[in-house]
Structure 1
Amino acid sequence: MKKIYITAGLLLSLMTGYSQNKNTEKADKMFQSYQYVGAVEEYLKLAQNKKGDGYVYKQLADSYYNVFNMEEASKWYAKAVETKQDAETFYRYAQTLRTLGKYPDANKQMDKFASMSPNDQRAKDHKANPNYIPSLTNKDKLFDVKDTKINSKDQADFGAVLANDNTLYFVSSRNTGKKTDKWIDQPYLDIYQSTRSEDGTLSEPKAVGDLNTPFHDGPITISADGNTIYFARDSHSEGSYEKDKKNKVKLGQQGLYKATKVDGKWTNVQALPINSTKYSVSNPSLSKDGKVLYFASNMPGGLGETDIWKISIGNNNYGKPENLGNKINTSGRESFPNITDDNVLYFASSGRQGFGGLDIFKIDLNANDEVINLGKPVNTEKDDFSFSLNTSKNVGYFSSNRSGKDNIYQAIPVCGVEAIAVVKDKKTGKVLADAKVAILDSKQNVIATKQSNASGEVAYKVECDTEYILQASKEDYDPSTSNVTKTKSGKVTINLELEPVEVVITDKEVLLSPIYFEYNKSNITAQGATELDKLVKVLNKNPQMKIFVKAHTDTKGGADYNLKLSDQRAQATVQYVISKGISKDRISGKGFGFTELKVNCKECTEEQDAQNRRSEFLIVK
């Protein structure tokens, strides 16, 4: 790609469309509209009628993957890779196997991936360290992540940098009144600013008119005193571009520019001498003393598609660009550098071992340290990038497309406490290995889930002065829950005793433990899957039984919103059970919001809210 300034999508290769035909048209439409169970049915028909091929097998695997049925996903990925597939299919198959704990099998698929793409950095890293996922997942939590509430509804927002005067600068394509970039069919980017209050809230963003042009502007970096700004700008603004006649677009390069603040206005815009019509330079970050400027570029002499570089700055003089070398740069993409006041460099990379897409990494340039993955919750399987940290205010910002588009999130450094759960059989007192232990926040949102080791233990790094909930579950046992109280530091040991139970079936319903969902979401969690698997067993043992799922919420939030959310959760529950082989005519569901409260209260306690947030599994036959 010649452009490296736009959202994370433009830092990745353009996605190739998959092959479709008339046979797969119905299934493909369902797949694209997230009707994964229906898609499975249609793809299975093709496979069973001998109309299946590598594409159908791959789509089947992806469909099962999206309804949390990793066993079936693994089965169809196995068939898919017996046909001609690209390297990425082997890569996802390996990821699926890892979720099933089949690390040796996953490594075999990674071996094939590496043989197909030996020069891919992921292949090289695999060969050097094939078992990185467990250590990456279990690493200490470094930051707490929160929404910033300044993201636009449909447009991209990223590149947030907090200046010392509490002005937050970022770039956004929210200005739909301007031209559209035909290359990506999105509005051009503008630079925006918002004021951060002492409690961390941000004012309504407004465009920085002094710096914006009809074309792309941003991201930015700003000096410690707030009077000098460096920013990226599209060369279209200077009439410099190449014509792509096939796509009917004008391809420009990104360059870096400098402006100074005079009487509250940005003026005296100057192009840096490192700009070129042959390559792009973007994503600037200025050192605390203003003497070094870091940036990303695809200029000659790099190691990958885009690398991180730096130049020295004197009195309006600029040194020669210097590549940061292979300790930081890879054969993949490195971009969005941010240098902190204490000389720690944060950057995004697709060429290092991570959870998927772009991950955010850091390295202390003061020491002979290695590059560190920031881990969860900053990094996800999506693109996570553009991390900046204001050390004096102890707050950071980064961007991610985990919600489906580029949004800005807040990152707060956390101190750590180790919470250790010990899972035991309540009747015998024996420790239980391979039990699932989930850690939840005080609102019962699942943060992570691990399995107990041979000693029945699971350890979580948690924040200081914060309450958590530990929830243990194991097949043929009733789940157990215990609170982790606030503590300053050190270790906290919690005993979780599981009592062996059978599922209770009355003449009216099947009684299960609460089905937990993530806050404001309807996707099935690992804990929810464990409980619903019990329902699947009951239905398999009682082939004439039919179930109606009723999903309820508490009274917090609007009636329409809760009704919609509860219905989404009911349908997600139904879809999960069907995906496990239960006929769709044996289970249905509906959301009731808070129209049928179990506890009718005006100012409900948390316990009362919990009773109202429930799923019921009524026996209709």
Structure 2
Amino acid sequence: MKKIYSLLCLFLIVSAGYGQNKETEKADKLYDGYQYVDAIDAYLKLVEDNKADAYVYKQLADSYYHVFNVEEASNWYKRAVDNGQDAETYYRYAQVLKSQGNYDEANKQMDKFSEMMPNDIRAKMHLKNPNYIPKLADVTKSFDVGGVAINDAQQSDFGAVLSNDNILYFVSSRKTSGKEDAWTNQPYLDIYKSVRNEEGNLSEPEEVSELNTVYHDGPLTISADGKTVYFSRDGHSDGTFKKIKSNGVKVAQQGIYKATMFEGKWGDVQALPINSVEYTVSHPSISSDGKTLYFASNMPNGIGDTDIWKISIDGDTYGEPVNLGPKVNTSGKEGFPYISGDNILYFASSGHQGFGGFDVFKFDIDKNETAENLGNGVNTKNDDFAFSVNTSKQVGYFSSNRSGVDNIYMAIPICQFQVIANVKDAKTKAFISGANVTISDAQHNQLATQVTTKNGTTSFNVNCENKYTITVTKEGYETAIVLVEPSKGEDVNMDVALELVDEIITETEVKLNNIYFEFDKSNITNQGALELDRLVAIMKDHSEMKILVRSHTDAKGSDAYNLKLSESRAQSTMQYLISKGIDKDRLSAKGVGSLEPKIDCKANCSEEEYAQNRRSEFLIVKD
């Protein structure tokens, strides 16, 4: 299907005959000369005269993209891609959509880009973690979700837990040759297992016959050493049921049973003393130290229809059931508890606020704070439940009927940490409120902007594996830029000191912070726009001022390449200033490549020295 889609896009582009022609010659010449503002006027004239096609839309979008006019770029990219485009256009459209905060649509465009350019590093990064940018500031996004190959297309599969010896246990109604549950007219549930290899692939499921009966069996939980299981089982199997005399029906409750491993087989099955013919006890989960068993039950003295409870375990001695209370349980239904190795309780609930049906929530046992919804991805408008995670192997599984039948899904934990920025006056050390704090990725793409509180603080939740840049701006202060290195999960608390503006205008130049560009690109980034807006304000205050924009590169490329790149960056910078209302007669631009380094380190520069050589200067032109 993906190949058909890509070929269709190619056919649409070629068959429509989009491209340069005599009608676009004037506008194309302006565009090729980096005269983006004038090029926009020329392309808009073609649109007005009904002479525009997808090529013109693309050129308009790219022109606005180069002068950082996100809204107009987005409008024209949408028109362009509606008619089919090259891969790079989808990529640029995705970037402007992210700048608008339209993350869902941005991901769709990145999906198309990735289909067309699967070997591109940007595509690989997107496919590895497609929801990374949209959920940076969303603490509920802590897992990436994917399907598994062992699901039965017609029958229910759910309740998966991964043991420390890489065996995935789950329950399924796939054995259709046995008895059917008279209440549902569906096959009874049985326990199955599948072996997970180092690549994460699962073997063909096989029945755990020694744990199964002709009635319902499962789900289960397994001890850390893999030698003990606790599992749910229908009371019919051992005759613990009640007879309804009026119609002769035998009503059995779910109970929890224990089994131990002996010579590779499960045996010595024992019923727990908390089982009853009056209420259900089910969905067991054992703590990593084996001392606490969590479960779901509708036993008396609960809060809702079914609650999460726990009991202590000491060998074959079991404590009294303890209700986990209103921070976990509601007047609705709670079930499928799972206690992780780091003492996080995951459970399903229809009572807590969610997306619909059952949602999965987490509750930190140690912190004893309010339960949190796991958010989009794990949860949908359908039933999502039976969440488990093996913290040592960094993989989880949960169940959902989002496809119309209960299936098992994989959940990969996303390592996140919090970046806390404390903004202060460099001289007085007083906290600064109302400062704009922007976080950007390693390519200087803006991810989110927040304003500091009265205590001068703001924070972002970010991915552990990536580098970020914090940019802080406040009127009357110099812009501050701080690098955030990858973390193993520990929060980063940083102080950002702002210097008051001092001699930003000298006899020869206007001093700004470096104007950053994406690698091998010349379009203005969000960080660059913040700096250039300061220059726009200065030039509007000094109406006679004329500026020469001189752009420099580092020495990584050839002299010819660097000269061309610096010229395009100088022109893009000038075009941005024009787009903000600065008369083009007051501006000139020149690229000097790597010929005038700030630090003459040649090919032995450190990354910091390379960065200092990549700069733009704003020289005051004297008449």
What TM-score, normalized by structure 2, do the two folds share?
0.46
Whose radius of gyration is greater, 1 or 2?
Answer: 2
What TM-score, normalized by structure 1, do the two folds share?
0.46
